[in-house]
Amino acid sequence: MQSEGDGIRPNFWNEIQVFRHSQGRTIPAFFQGDKMKITKIKTAESKSIETKGETVQDYCLYLFRTPVILTIGGMENVFPSGTAILYEGGVSRRFRGAPGKSLKYDIVQFSPSSADKLYIGGLGFPLNKAIEAADGYILASTIKNLMIHRMTAGKRKTELEEVYMRIILIALEEAYNGTGKEISDVPHFPQLKEIRREIYDNPAVHMSVDKLCRRLAVGRTYFHKIYLAAFGVTFRQDEIKSRIAYACQLLKETELAVGVIAEKCGYETETYFMKQFRRHMGCTPSQYRRQE
């Protein structure tokens, strides 16, 4: 599986400064003057108590992986998994999980530059309002890639963060405008979404393709065909990606031994884990852990 950062042209970073969005808006030149800074990024956060009245000066993007009860304008409303919301700095946040259930979400907290604020203001989605995405894992995958790649970006870290945030914001706008709704026409799409959620929520669990085929009452070849049609990646690619992403998170956030991490990520042997990790990340797990 090739990572999103592979094969970047030498002049790519110059090209993106004059890149124009397909809808005709000019993206402000990057990296001039003040710069956007990501101050916090977490995936698969879990919370059993209500977030009530919290405010920070940074912008906060939440992607809820489970159903959520959001209080907006003094009114409580229930939203499904895959719901996102971008809070402006200084805005009070209040949300909680469904009764009797923990809330799981991804969060990106960032301090936008002046150009970023102008760009966000020109996008076609509202701030501080819930946005239901047809496929929340498009956003979730981009957030995970941002978290992984910003740890290995070196001198390109600032540019990388800004590019990924622009991609996330565009994806959020497309979710709000309903772009890509035709994807729901893929046969068994709701079941495929649930399978994909299970892959990313439980990277250590080996999912039998035969069992999944029986679950959908389809053959193996057809299952792989509709999965690729629904998400643009194969079932196997998603499985590997979820495990490597989880491994990267554990390497950076814990002091667990590599062998323990391999087991937690669903690998039967440390040797195979290290081989696959190096193939996809370009370094060993230990080297990745030492990178700032």
Domain spans in the chain, listed from the N-terminal domain onward? 12-177, 189-290
* Cβ pair 68, 175 in contact under 8 A: no
Q: Other C-beta atoms within 10 Å of 261: how many?
A: 22
Higher pLDDT, 139 or 77: 77
- How many angstroms separate the CA atoms of 260 and 270, rounded? 8
259 pLDDT band (50/70/90 cuts)? very high
Task: Return the CATH number of 12-177, one of 3.40.50.720, 3.40.50.2000, 1.10.3720.10, 2.60.120.280.
Answer: 2.60.120.280
If you write DSSP's letter for every residue of the chain in order, what string do you get? ---TTTT--TTHHHHGGG-B-TTSPBPPPTTSSS--EEEEEEEEEEE-S-EEEE--SSEEEEEESS-EEEEETTEEEEE-TTEEEEEPTT--EEEEESTTS-EEEEEEEEE--HHHHHHHHHSSS-TTS-EE-S-HHHHHHHHHHHHHHHTT-GGGHHHHHHHHHHHHHHHHHHHHHTTTGGGGGSTTHHHHHHHHHHHHH-TTSPPPHHHHHHHHT--HHHHHHHHHHHHSS-HHHHHHHHHHHHHHHHHHH----HHHHHHHTT-S-HHHHHHHHHHHHSS-HHHHHH--
- How many angstroms separate the CA atoms of 42 and 272, rounded? 27
| Orientation angle between helical segments 235-253 and 220-231, nearest 10 degrees | 60
Global model pTM greater than 0.85: no
Among the listed residues 177, 105, 102, the one whose alpha carbon sits nearest the alpha carbon of residue 136: 105
Best mean pLDDT range from 18-27, 48-57, 118-127: 118-127
- One-letter amino acid at 191 equals Q
Instruction: Report phi then psi at 117, rounded to 5.
Output: -65, -40
83-87 sheet: strands from edge to edge: 37-47, 103-111, 59-64, 83-87, 131-132
Q: What is the CATH number of domain 189-290?
A: 1.10.10.60
* Cβ pair 252, 289 in contact under 8 A: yes
Can you give the pLDDT at residue 134? Answer: 66
Can you give the pLDDT at residue 260? Answer: 94
* Cβ pair 213, 255 in contact under 8 A: no
* Cβ pair 13, 156 in contact under 8 A: yes
* Residue owning tokens 């190096």: 278
Residue 203 has pLDDT above 80, yes or no: yes
Q: Give tens-digit pLDDT for 79-124.
A: 888 899 999 988 989 999 888 778 889 999 999 887 788 888 888 8
Greatest distance between any 2 Cα atoms in the chain? 56
203: its two tokens: 């990277």
Can you give the pLDDT at residue 132? Answer: 85
